[in-house]
């Protein structure tokens, strides 16, 4: 581990509460969930106690991580409570499930699609609507080093709530036009909430994922993103198309052969860059 990255890791471990990062884009199918669970897996392997909070009713992060746990354990363990039930009971403390050493999951399920309906029935002001989940998530922070939030693309209510208890954001950008416009909308959402509530959230960067490596569109979109968000704000590490990534939602995350290791080595680079950027931001904030 690089000396500077080791220093960032130790500083995160020494902090009284988890660093909380929302990974977002207003469009679907842009790699948010993949980035969330592979960065989380890598952080856990680096010794950081990491929680993935799956805030998407499609529950793709939940499915992949549960499969990962099943591959690593001979025991069959059921998940008794999911996010929506925890919201209704106003207590998320018993929800996190251990996946691997240092890697935990706060699971979602299809019933979380009713969160918006539940929110509007129980919140009376704009402030209550945007801060509904914060008092439920804040008690989890002392138990972890890092919390990564996977948010759904089309629920502004969930995104608003996630931003309220996040410290940082990563923008997942797949290289096609819809993803770029979704990234722009996500940034506007962050700016609006920062301005309205003085959240203090900082963007770690834009993480590009190639849509079609054979197309010149990829480089055009990345160049446009650098113009739009600033070249320094776009990750230098780019996630290429990798067939093995598509197998993880079917089999769980594995580390069995060179194809697995190619993916995991790549996400080590992604995570190292994320930690380097995070360390720089934390120094500026100090």
Q: What is the pLDDT of residues 107-160, one digit of tens each?
A: 999 999 999 999 999 999 999 999 999 999 999 999 999 999 999 887 899 999
Tokens of 100: 């691997």
**pTM here?**
0.94
Domain residue ranges in the chain: 3-285
pLDDT digits (tens, 9 = 90+) for 189-227: 999 999 999 999 999 999 998 766 566 777 888 888 999
Distance (Å, whole) CA 73 – CA 71: 6
d(CA 133, CA 210): 33
Q: State the average pLDDT over residues 78-99.
A: 91
Euclidean distance between CA atoms 241 and 79, whole angstroms: 32
Contact 92, 136 (CB under 8 A): yes
| CA pair distance 225, 144, nearest whole angstrom | 33
In sign, the C-alpha dihedral spanning 26, 31, 34, 35 is: negative
Q: Is 174 exposed, middle or buried (0-12, 13-18, 19+ CB in 10 A)?
A: buried
Is residue 99 within a helix (H) or strand (E), and if so which, with residue range? Answer: strand 97-100
Least Cα distance to 83 among 164, 165, 158, 160 occurs for 158
Q: How far is C-alpha 258 from the chain's CA centre?
A: 26
Per-residue pLDDT tens digits for 266-277: 999 999 999 999
Rounded Cα–Cα distance for residues 246 and 241 (Å): 9
Give the pair of three-digit tokens for residue 228: 């739009």
Task: Pick the closest to residue 168 from 183, 188, 196, 190 (CA basis).
Answer: 190
How sure is the predictor about 77, in pLDDT bands with cuts at 50, 70 and 90? low
Q: Is the pLDDT of residue 104 over 70?
A: yes
**CA neighbor of 35 nearest in space, from 215, 274, 202, 260:** 274
CATH number of 3-285, picked from 3.40.50.620, 3.40.50.150, 3.40.50.300, 1.10.3720.10? 3.40.50.300
């Amino acid at each position: 581990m690089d000396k500077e990255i080791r220093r960032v890791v130790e500083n995160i471990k020494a902090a009284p509460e988890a660093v909380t990062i929302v990974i977002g884009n207003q469009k679907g199918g842009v790699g948010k969930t993949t980035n969330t669970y592979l960065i989380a897996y890598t952080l856990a392997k680096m010794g950081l106690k990491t929680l993935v909070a799956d805030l998407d009713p499609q529950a793709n992060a939940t499915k992949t991580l549960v499969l990962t746990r099943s591959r690593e354990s001979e025991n069959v363990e059921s998940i008794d409570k999911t996010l929506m039930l925890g919201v209704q009971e106003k207590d998320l403390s018993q929800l996190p499930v251990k996946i691997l050493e240092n890697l935990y999951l706060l699971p979602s399920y299809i019933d979380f699609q009713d969160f918006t309906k539940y929110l509007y029935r129980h919140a009376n002001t704009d402030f209550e609507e945007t801060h509904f989940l914060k008092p439920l998530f804040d008690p989890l922070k002392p138990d972890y080093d890092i919390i990564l939030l996977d948010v759904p693309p089309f629920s502004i209510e969930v995104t608003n709530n996630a931003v309220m208890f996040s410290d940082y954001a990563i923008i997942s950008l797949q290289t096609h036009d819809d993803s770029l416009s979704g990234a722009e909308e996500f940034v506007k959402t962050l700016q609006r909430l920062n301005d309205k509530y003085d959240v203090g959230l900082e963007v770690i960067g834009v993480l590009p994922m190639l849509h079609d490596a054979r197309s010149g569109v990829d480089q055009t979109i990345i160049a446009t993103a650098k113009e739009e968000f600033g070249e320094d704000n776009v990750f230098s590490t780019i996630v290429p198309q990798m067939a093995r990534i598509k197998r993880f939602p079917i089999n769980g995350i594995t580390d069995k052969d060179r194809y697995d290791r190619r993916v995991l080595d790549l996400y080590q680079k992604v995570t190292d860059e994320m930690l380097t950027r995070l360390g720089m931001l934390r120094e500026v904030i100090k």
